[in-house]
Structure 1
């Protein structure tokens, strides 16, 4: 890992031990009563939405309510964000640069470095905390993704959960994403929602909107005047991309012309609307990932229809976001509050190429897996076309459509090219004392918090938990709202897994890979673009300006040092290193039947990249039937049940089903053991033993890795997205009956040789500092 010579390594974790403690007493100040005309605020953040995916930015997707926000407000054509979602969310809520806010990456790592702590600093007040102190009610629905995954389980310290970071009420998914038809885990305030199964027709985008409106309704019943702040963080359109059938049907046939044609159409609309300047060029195939995108006309009829269906689902999901905007605005119109409500709508990063050249119907077969996969690994299990978008498919659209999403820019989410960081931003406030319109000034995500606070007339808290508050990196852009020619931000650094960039005025320097250890952290191969003449990064002019390149590389180094960016991840250590405080999560445990599922990460520590056993002591009657344990969903998982009194093991290999059955059990006491054993090439075998005898076997199936199984372990029923759809159609959650589950114990085996995790002994260091 590349870092300055003066930087320290993992032991720097110990110096931040105070950030990992919690206090039982509330620390926040007594709220002030806001002025009589304090505006409401709604911030809507859309996940993985590309620059051109909304109507005001050139899209063909129907977004009439968002179009209305743009017509009456401000449309920012030069807004940039972090290359990934958690860093953008941390910057939005704190006004800090992503690494200073603790999020150099998404909240699925814990290497022990301050810039990658994946927890908001204790001395960084959030926008919600400042607004609450200023007299606002504070609500949040949707994706949080700002808590270490090791602290998402029910026994964890909740000091970084939404309610402890300034929100009065919360409903949503704490994790990075989830199924929209069958969410893997929903949290209401500080507690997991105890739900046996979802009703027919459940859809998360609709539920989040219902909950948001309900929070506003509950406030207004009791206080008609108190302003509110609503942070609505959509889980859509992050993978798995899903939508409702009726909305998908609206877009049937719309994308049969292919991705190049749609990209050209969007670019033409952008030019006509002034979203991009007339001299901008659409990057050609050679520099715009043409090697990763099949030629549409060379595809078979079946391939074109499959790829078009992927985009129909994506368009429907964007359409559903627009519908949610409309429902919120209609609610405010009914109460006469729309005019005095500020709405901020943005994406957290650019569109993603996670689906690969051909897209996938097996999202978890490739998502979240670090390193090369074995030869023959299947990343797209075929499924019927009409199932795409529905609850049976965890899909992601192909790279060609992601390039359309990011029109006119090159590259994708997680890169520092404009396609990764250039995103849509709309601000609307009908009662504003200044007129809206297009704005081409540079605005960064950390500018949003100070802007909102200034518009609301609320100061940022100057301390948190008795410690002076960190100074915000962002600055208010209220002057930009008021004056079309006011200056915007001048510069900003970017970094993501060693990919670096610096925007300085109209110049942008970037490096696509980390430097070698010998070059130092400012070294490596740098590209240079003049964004004034070349806003889409089509011509690298670094050879013509070597002195400018060297100066900008050195400037990036200084900014990186100030913002705790180091160490750069040049060898994958950010993903390998974990604290030894996670080790107890892999200890054998007894699970209680019929409780909410064990949380995803906690479940994964027992099963992923290792062999394991599930030991079950039970009593059966003649009619015994139902699920004993289920872990996972339609994206991948396994299930042990009694079906007509006989043991059944079902294994969902990212959409490919495998089943094996044993003989019917006699009534009485039994011991059933499910053994899941690793074999070479990332494969498992599953064996069911009944009273010491082998009863059923599934041989050599692809191991579930990365983020799969995504739904946690449920005992006595199959929660949420079912592992086995046929059983679900017959029995729904298939609760266990006709007997009693006395004991269900998970016993993890040795870790796989494919598991690169290195547990570092930081727990003792943290305790020593705390003492």
Structure 2
């Protein structure tokens, strides 16, 4: 239908006529940016920590009928590569640039002060959302982000690297690397929000994310049904915590009792039958870090099988709720014209260790994962009282037929399932594509498919070159050659390079943790010094001819020394081209690198109730140091109760609160030990200063995952009213939940003591956290201690 007004491109000269009055003037309007007629919607679905051999459409034993449906209507790409870690892959996926180019050598929490490592994706590297927004698309992001430095994720901003700052018009999800699926840390647009329901009321994050995605599409469709959308839908599955309703778990009861060795054999046979691996592929050999299933005790088998039941249930439940989005698009007549890309960000994760863990916070604190602790949670594995991850035998099995896993640059870490579907635009359905691809190729492919050129500028910023190459030519031709011939890999010093059917790998600290340890190199502890690098370059490189050996089972370095030398030289050329240096391991030193913060450095934090929580990564780090918490309160006649300050959740943290008239402090050591101190007096009404102090009394035992021991003390108006000794504390990080004042925003630190949010019912004026080390001096205690030391 012809319009009855004239339009012109914004920024161009006004084409109408301006006279002295309206009746002698001719109007024209700046034109809205509108997509081309018939432009398809774009939906990118990102799975987390899902291996090549887990989804049913890639031969896995986790039932994903909606992804199967997508594959039957589209194409399965069986040679898609990622970076081996989540933030780097997500940045590469959304920009079309290599992860070191973006400053995303690792997750943002492990940033360092070098261009390849700083975690600050520059605005010269435009996101697909920014590109499509300029061409008349609605842009929505739902789920995991993990692309902003943690120091920038507070309500102080800056918000420029949040989703709304990178071209998304609406956002709902979690900004960090993972979150509790029952009690998530949620952000809507640029503000912190709480879940709409509780787990007891049927809440689960996957349900919520699908609801929000559908609502975003629905809201836009009601006003502009012809306007296409770009939806970036990134769930937390199958990253830990593996949280899912019991009804889903029951569907898998007994299904993995055969163990991970038999799982690999079954999946390998299915993959060959489906054609997702080439005929003649050899199943990779036993990993030295993984025990044979038939050597395990009955308790171990029982526990490990349960872990996989829960993981598989989590993937199936995720698939179900993704299917609700597909169903909605089909109902409104949009599914046929929606270009869908489904992909995982890296291989399966080994962060559960050899035993798996009922609480992943044990891994992040270096605490041992013990079978006996896990068995206590057998019946509620996957429920709110766990933050679980499976044993790494399932990780190895989940990457069938490849070796190794996430974090490493063998194919188990980098080769991931990928599905592309667009019924209106891709006539082929149910077919397999084997061209070599990398995640940086997705943006140029989408742009070419939509008939769009990469922008030279975005919001006035000159854009860097897109480094991926389009594989749009393969959508219609299974025999089309790949255009992506060379690709480097690097993650925590673990290196690889692919070139024209050959692959060289230099594993660090070794081909397995066991083999690395035999050389005295330990993951997380051994730094990548120049001496180590030179030794690796002399003897650590392996060579595989993928055309003959897709699963990297035969190291042919000795037979082809010239090819290996050429490949290693090529790695250094590519590393120079994309700014990879300096190489850095994933050691403890990297975890504790001093990083700039938005606020100036300080050791005193003043908080008021009612504000947004401080994300865990930006919260005051009280670990292993003296600290105090001082609350100024007014207690009414009849008393008060509630949380004054809480950090963390039931999987690790602390809470200072008032209950039954008394002041209490609980230190929750990773869900294993709850250490409580309570006041020996009832708090009277009126204005008071309530104070908690922690004074270290020894050194941490970091090798055992234990922080410093110390005195835990409570004060009422300067008078000591409670004291206890803590034999150890959390050494590095509480649960993946932040700090809240006047309530427990996320989940109760100790659910047996109170139910969140448990807001303080008196008047809370302010809470001050002091990390300066200045503690109340109790002279009598000092005298007693000196006398005891004589």
Q: CA deviation at 1:466?
A: 2.7
Is the alpha carbon distance of 1:40 and 1:512 closer, same or farther for their aligned partners in structure 2, counting shifts above 3 Å? same
In the superposition, the TM-score normalised over structure 2's length comes to: 0.86
Structure 1 residue matching 2:554: 3-state secondary structure: coil
* Cα offset, 1:545, TM superposition: 1.3
Aligned equivalent of 2:187:
187
Aligned position for 1:303:
300
Distance across 2 between alignment mates of 1:452 and 1:71: 20
Q: How many residue pairs get matched?
A: 709
User: In 2, Cα distance between the equivalents of 1:216 and 1:146?
Assistant: 23
Aligned to 2:737: 711
The Cα of 1:73 is off from its aligned counterpart by: 0.5
For normalisation by structure 1, the TM-score amounts to 0.88
Say if 2:515 is the partner of 1:511.
Answer: no
Aligned to 1:670: 688
**Residue in structure 2 matching 1:688, options 685, 700, 714:** 714
2:356 equivalent in structure 1: 359
Distance 1:574 1:562, change over 3 A: farther
Compared with structure 1, are the counterparts of its residues 110 and 570 closer, same or farther at alpha carbon in structure 2 (3 Å cutoff)? closer
Instruction: Kindly report structure 1 stretches of 4+ aligned residues shifted beyond 6 Å.
Output: 376-380
SS at match of 1:721: coil
Of 589, 599, 614, the residue aligned with 2:615 is 599
Distance in 1, matches of 2:91 and 2:203, equals 30
Task: Please show how residues 721-732 of structure 1 align to structure 2 within 5 Å.
Answer: 721-728=747-754, 731-732=755-756
Question: Residues 377 and 481 from structure 1, CA distance in 2 versus in 1: closer, same or farther, beyond 3 angstroms?
Answer: closer
More divergent stretch after superposition (428-437 vs 49-58): 428-437
Deviates more, 1:440-449 or 1:584-593: 584-593
| C-alpha displacement of 1:578 | 3.0
How far the C-alpha of 1:595 sits from its partner, in A, is 2.6
Listed as ranges, the matches of 1:98-497 within 5 Å are: 98-183=99-184, 185-193=185-193, 198=198, 200-285=201-286, 288=287, 290=288, 292-367=289-364, 369=365, 373=366, 381-382=373-374, 383-436=376-429, 437-488=431-482, 489-497=484-492
**2:147, 2:490 → 1: CA distance?**
18
SS of the equivalent of 1:577 reads coil
- Listed one character per residue, the Cα deviations across residues 172-210 of structure 1 (whole Å, up to 9, x for unaligned) are 101111000001x21111122256984632111111110
**Over alpha carbons, which structure has the higher Rg?**
2
Higher relative CO (Cα under 8 Å, sequence separation at least 6) belongs to: 1
- Tell me the alpha carbon deviations over residues 384-424 of structure 1, each in whole angstroms, 9 at most, x when there is no partner: 31221011111110000111111111111010000100000
Q: Which moved more, 1:346-355 or 1:573-582?
A: 573-582
Q: Deviations over 1:640-694 (max 9, x none)?
A: 1111101222221111223332232222332221112333122343222223333
Q: Is contact 1:351-1:402 (8 Å) kept? A: yes
The residue number in structure 2 matching 1:500 is 495
Distance 1:461 1:616, change over 3 A: same
SS of the equivalent of 1:218 reads helix
CA distance in structure 1 between the partners assigned to 2:690 and 2:67 by the alignment: 55
- How far did 1:630 drift? 1.3
TM-aligned CA distance change 1:257 to 1:134, over 3 Å? same
Aligned equivalents of 2:611 and 2:586: distance in 1? 41
- Say yes or no: does 1:537 pair with 2:560: no
| Residues 608 and 30 (structure 1), Cα distance of their counterparts in 2 relative to 1, 3 Å cut | farther
Mapped partners of 1:232, 1:359: distance in 2: 28
Deviations 1:232-260 (CA, angstroms, capped at 9, x unpaired) = 01112111221112111111111111111
Aligned partner of residue 232 in structure 1, secondary structure: strand
| More displaced 10-residue stretch of structure 1: 154-163 or 512-521 | 512-521
CA contact (8 A) 1:676 1:684 kept: no
Residue of structure 2 in register with 1:547 after alignment = 562
Q: Label 1:465 to 1:40 Cα distance change in 2 as closer, same or farther (>3 A).
A: closer
Cα displacement (A) at 1:700: 2.6
**Deviation at residue 576 of structure 1 after TM alignment:** 4.1
Q: Report the Cα offset of residue 494 of structure 1.
A: 0.2
Structure 2 distance, partners of 1:646, 1:463, is 61
Shift in CA distance, 554/30, structure 1 to aligned 2, threshold 3 Å: farther
Q: Which residue of 2 aligns with 1:645?
A: 661
By how many angstroms is 1:574 displaced? Answer: 4.2
Cα root mean square deviation, aligned: 2.2
Distance 1:59 1:501 in 2: 26
- Aligned residue for 1:610, secondary structure, equals coil
CA apart distance, 1:379: 9.6
CA contact (8 A) 2:210 2:324 kept: yes
**2:677 is the counterpart of 1:660:** yes
> Corresponding residue for 1:636?
652
> What SS does the corresponding residue of 2:497 show, helix, strand or coil?
strand
Secondary structure of 1:725's partner?
Answer: coil
Q: Is the 8 A contact 1:154 1:599 kept in 2?
A: no
Residue-by-residue CA offset, 1:247-303 (whole Å, 9 max, x unaligned): 111111111111111111111100111111221111122xx2x3x223323323222
Segment of structure 1 superposing worse, 376-385 or 174-183: 376-385
Alignment partner, residue 746 of structure 1: 769
Cα distance change on mapping 1:380 and 1:594 into 2, 3 Å: farther
Q: Does 1:88 align with 2:89?
A: yes
Cα deviation for residue 624 of structure 1 reads: 1.7
